[in-house]
């Protein structure tokens, strides 16, 4: 079965017990830790900086950390997040003057690079840089807050990006972020995503093991639907 990457968004974790809560979702089966960085400028909210990521590494969180930068400008923060222990760094094309330069900076700092597209950001931002991407993130809500509703227009966009990736025989992770829940994850996977950011849809439950087991079961259904 093809690999699906579950990316718990610690934006919905208990910030007073961040290390413990992060370890708990990894133990329950999370693959990547999704780390949302907001600056009250590119998006109307303020969250975490590189110091907090470094604290998680010092707490012995060894899972890959997927940093989603919702900040403008982007470039200054890249070496800081890389040094703090980021694995992936994803940014929004509207937040940087020179997309290709920002991608180069991420690669030079030793991280994998992702591009995040807002619900109305056109796909032609992928032209010319596709081969340089390790991850494409499709926002299925407007960035800035957890616990918003999934925008159904994302399904069509997902199918289009999946076609572009496959047509070019590329091994790019296609990630969806916003409003992912147990009851829509199968449809999202069936539309072409293979990584799922899940915040409130996971952290609102007390038993992470149980909810992740249920999610995996849903993903299995999506997989068998796609091969029949
Ligand atoms: C929104 C963030 C998301 C958020 C998702 O701007 O990028 O990662 O945490 O949260 P849920 O899963 O609650 O929609
Ligand atoms: Zn995010």
pLDDT on residue 222: 86
d(Cα 10, Cα 113) in Å, to the nearest integer?
20
Regarding the beta carbon of 11 and ligand 1, being less than 6 Å apart is answered: yes
Closest CA to 118 of 98, 148, 79: 148
Instruction: Write the pLDDT tens digit of every residue in 136-194.
Output: 999 999 999 999 999 999 999 999 999 999 999 999 999 999 999 999 999 999 999 99
Centre of ligand 1 from the C-alpha of residue 2, in Å: 24
Question: Please, are residues 63 and 23 in contact by the beta-carbon 8 Å criterion?
Answer: no
Question: Please, are residues 155 and 208 in contact by the beta-carbon 8 Å criterion?
Answer: no
d(Cα 215, Cα 111) in Å, to the nearest integer?
28
pLDDT on residue 64: 98
Residues in the chain: 228
Mean pLDDT by 10 residues, the chain (228 residues): 89 98 98 98 98 98 98 98 99 98 98 99 98 98 98 98 98 98 98 98 97 97 77
Question: Exposed (0-12), middle (13-18) or buried (19+): which is 138, by Cβ within 10 Å?
Answer: buried
The model's pTM is: 0.97
pLDDT on residue 228: 58
Atom of ligand 1 nearest to the CA of 202: 12
| Atom 9 of ligand 1, nearest CA residue | 146
pLDDT on residue 226: 77
Regarding the beta carbon of 77 and ligand 1, being less than 6 Å apart is answered: no
Domains and CATH numbers, the chain: 5-207 (3.20.20.70)
């Amino acid at each position: 079965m093809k690999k699906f990457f579950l990316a718990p968004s610690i934006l919905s974790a208990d910030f007073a017990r961040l290390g413990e809560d992060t370890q708990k979702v990894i133990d329950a089966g999370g693959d990547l830790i999704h780390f949302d960085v907001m600056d009250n400028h590119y998006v109307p909210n303020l969250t975490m900086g590189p110091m907090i990521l470094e604290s998680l590494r010092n707490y012995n969180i060894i899972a890959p950390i997927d940093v989603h930068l919702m900040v403008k400008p982007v470039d200054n923060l890249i070496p800081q997040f890389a040094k703090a222990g980021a694995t992936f760094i994803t940014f929004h094309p509207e937040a940087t003057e020179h997309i290709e330069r920002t991608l180069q900076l991420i690669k030079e700092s030793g991280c994998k690079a992702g591009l995040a597209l807002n619900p109305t950001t056109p796909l032609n931002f992928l032209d010319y840089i596709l081969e340089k991407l390790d991850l494409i993130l499709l926002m299925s809500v407007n960035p800035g807050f957890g616990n918003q509703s999934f925008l159904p227009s994302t399904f069509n966009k997902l199918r289009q990006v999946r076609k572009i990736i496959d047509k070019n025989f590329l091994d790019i992770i296609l990630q969806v972020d916003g409003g992912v829940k147990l009851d829509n994850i199968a449809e999202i996977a069936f539309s072409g995503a293979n990584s799922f950011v899940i915040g409130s849809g996971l952290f609102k439950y007390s038993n992470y093991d149980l909810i992740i087991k249920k999610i995996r079961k849903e993903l299995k259904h999506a997989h068998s639907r796609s091969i029949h």
